[in-house]
Amino acid sequence: MSKSNTANREGFKKGPILFVMILGAFLATLNQTVMTVAIPELIGEFDISAATAQWLTTGYMLVNGVLIPITAYLMQRFSTRQLFQASMWIFLAGTIVSAFATDFTVLLTGRMIQAAGAGIIMPLLMTVILTIFPPHNRGAAMGMVGLAIIFAPAIGPVLTGYILESYAWETIFYGMIPLVLIVIACGWIYLKNVSEKVETKIDMASVLLSTIGFGALLYGFSRAGSEGWTSAEVISMIATGVIGLGLFTWRQLALKQPLLDLRAFKYNMFSLTTLISIAVTMVMYADMMLLPLYLQNARGYTALESGLLMLPGAIVMGLLMPVAGKLFDRFGAKWLAIIGLVITIVTTVGFIDLSETTTYTYLLLMSTGRRIGMALLLMPIQTAGLNQLPASLNAHGTAISNTIRQVAGAVGTSLLVTIMMDRSKAHLADMAASGGAGMTQNEMITAASIQGINDSYMVIIGFGVIALILSWFIKRPEQAGEEKQEPAKVRLAAEGSR
């Protein structure tokens, strides 16, 4: 495997391959959050609740999370070029469906088709980087990938806000169609195969268990806001999700050729950085839902003003991501993670006391500070864990990492939206019981909603503190040698495939 990787690194022009794949990942990740600013408008357009509307974001992330485990199999079964082009065509089909949606159900269907294609792109990109770049140069390459997974979601709200200011929401998807076609054309011209195909069989029972586990878990969290945490529906769905994931894990450990090789968790830094990524992802994606709701629903800002609030942070992130990657190659992930999390936590504290008079400038500064912290830590944490894995586990490691990141974002968003709704109801009841201090019904609803958002930000800080504590235990792992670290069964299987 190491000889194959060396050949790959020497035999391919890395620039064009990386450029094409980052373009695809940029569009896929952009679509992950492009709906956040549009959600308040779509709530009125389709006459739906916030809990229902947030499925446009969490449903997208969920389908990503459900399908990403299959990518480890797909990356062995198909060539790099075949898999990338197929994913972009699926993504294009979902974009077209969304553009011509006439109701919420069709729009959600289109979003989920988009997610089916997008779920393949990011783990494929990361596996290609692990293949064509040596460990001591991966930080800089992953820093460029950060432009897709962090910069794209940050500018998504700005683009959406600008479009909604002058055009119908469908324009978001109309404009995406030619961009996807350009990426497909570039992939046809420039993309090369950097991996060898291996004849493997897919375990459909594992696919079914992962779908049931992840799907039921998220559905349970999303329904908790409207049905209550003690309702039979919520409890049964969360329990079903936990059982499904438990059975999925058991089956992967029992199979000789698992769909997702969970033996990657034998490597301590990979396991640690995965836990940190769960908390960090919840912190990052939940804020993308809460802040637009506060700005547009509680404060009356336009979609464009809401999106522009995140633009300075997006620009700063674009400048910092490659720098953070180079710093990682030189110093490792520990102190980048600690510094980034401290910045993120301190600036998030600024969101726990929002009111009807909080200034736009204050919100802009705090939001930009959060993006600076995220830019410093996200890719270094992920790269540190993947660098420890032997080459034969690259595909499975990236699939695991991306699965957990997507599901954590989906669950975190659903959890914090339900907390916001639940706490808003409680605050409204308290205000009504106390007479409302002279406020009208609408004023009480607005005040209660803001307090509910403040409570949700307190939970976000808790996730950040957990990630900070865990980051103190990050070490710079030695390069994983096949003979030294790879489990024997996995090594023999890899040698046999060659």
Q: Quick one: pLDDT at residue 201?
A: 77
User: Tokens standing for 435?
Assistant: 């007479």
Contact 202, 260 (CB under 8 A): no
Q: Do residue 452 and residue 468 come from a single domain?
A: yes
Cα 157 from Cα 17, distance rounded (Å): 28
Q: Quick one: pLDDT at residue 481?
A: 52
Count: domains in the chain = 2
Q: Do residue 167 and residue 245 come from a single domain?
A: no
Q: Quick one: pLDDT at residue 222?
A: 65
Last residue of a domain, one of 254, 277, 294: 254
Q: Write the CB contacts of 392 (distance below 8 Å, at least 6 apart in sequence).
A: 1, 482, 486, 490, 491, 493, 494
Cα 237 from Cα 219, distance rounded (Å): 7
Q: Do residue 337 and residue 302 come from a single domain?
A: yes
Q: Do residue 244 and residue 292 come from a single domain?
A: no
Cα torsion 23, 24, 25, 28 to 10°: value is: 120
pLDDT digit string (tens) for the chain, length 498 residues: 444 444 444 556 777 888 888 888 888 878 777 777 787 778 877 878 776 777 787 777 677 767 777 877 787 778 888 889 999 999 999 999 989 988 888 998 998 898 888 888 878 888 888 777 777 777 777 777 776 666 676 677 778 777 887 888 888 889 889 999 999 998 888 887 776 666 677 788 888 888 888 778 777 776 765 676 778 888 998 899 899 989 999 998 888 888 888 888 888 899 999 999 999 888 886 667 788 888 888 888 877 787 788 778 878 887 888 888 888 888 888 899 999 999 999 999 989 888 888 999 999 999 888 888 988 888 888 888 888 888 778 778 888 887 787 778 767 877 888 888 888 888 888 888 877 667 777 888 888 889 999 999 999 999 999 999 999 998 876 655 554 434 444 443 444 433
Q: Where are the alpha helices (DSSP H) in 228-310?
A: 232-254, 268-292, 303-308
Q: Quick one: pLDDT at residue 341?
A: 94
Q: At which residue do the structure tokens 């600690």 appear?
A: 338
Q: Do residue 95 and residue 125 come from a single domain?
A: yes
Cα 110 from Cα 146, distance rounded (Å): 26
Cα 73 from Cα 198, distance rounded (Å): 9
- CB < 8 Å & 24+ apart, contacts of 236-240: 240/212, 240/216
In order, the DSSP letters of 31-71 are HHHTTTTTHHHHHHHHT--HHHHTHHHHHHHHHHHHHHHHH
Q: Do residue 223 and residue 324 come from a single domain?
A: no
Q: What is the DSSP letter of 260?
A: S
User: Tokens standing for 125?
Assistant: 């990109």
In order, the DSSP letters of 431-442 are HHHTTGGG--HH
Last residue of a domain, one of 254, 287, 313: 254
Q: Do residue 395 and residue 457 come from a single domain?
A: yes
Q: Which residues of 89-114 are buried (b: 16+ CB within 10 A; e: fewer)?
A: ebbbbbbbbbbebeebeebbbbbbbb
Q: Do residue 54 and residue 146 come from a single domain?
A: yes
HSE of 453, CA atoms in CB hemisphere, 13 A: 26
Contact 324, 175 (CB under 8 A): no
Q: Do residue 216 and residue 346 come from a single domain?
A: no
The radius of gyration of the chain's CA atoms, rounded to the nearest angstrom, is 22
Q: How many CB atoms lie within 10 A of CB 153?
A: 24
Contact 431, 447 (CB under 8 A): yes
Q: Do residue 263 and residue 371 come from a single domain?
A: yes
Q: Quick one: pLDDT at residue 184?
A: 92
Return the closest-CA partner of residue 114 out of 22, 31, 207, 178: 31
- Structural domain harbouring 245: 204-254
Say what the pTM is. 0.74
Q: Quick one: pLDDT at residue 6?
A: 42
Cα 72 from Cα 76, distance rounded (Å): 7
Q: Is 473 helix (H, G, I), strand (E, B) or coil?
A: coil
Last residue of a domain, one of 254, 284, 313: 254
Q: How many residues does the chain have?
A: 498
Cα 91 from Cα 83, distance rounded (Å): 12
Q: How many helices (DSSP H) and strands (DSSP E) are in the chain?
A: 21, 0
Please report, for the domain that includes residue 7, its CATH number: 1.20.1250.20
Return the closest-CA partner of residue 453 out of 426, 424, 429: 424
Q: Quick one: pLDDT at residue 5?
A: 45
Cα 204 from Cα 211, distance rounded (Å): 11
Q: Do residue 326 and residue 456 come from a single domain?
A: yes
Q: Do residue 188 and residue 219 come from a single domain?
A: no
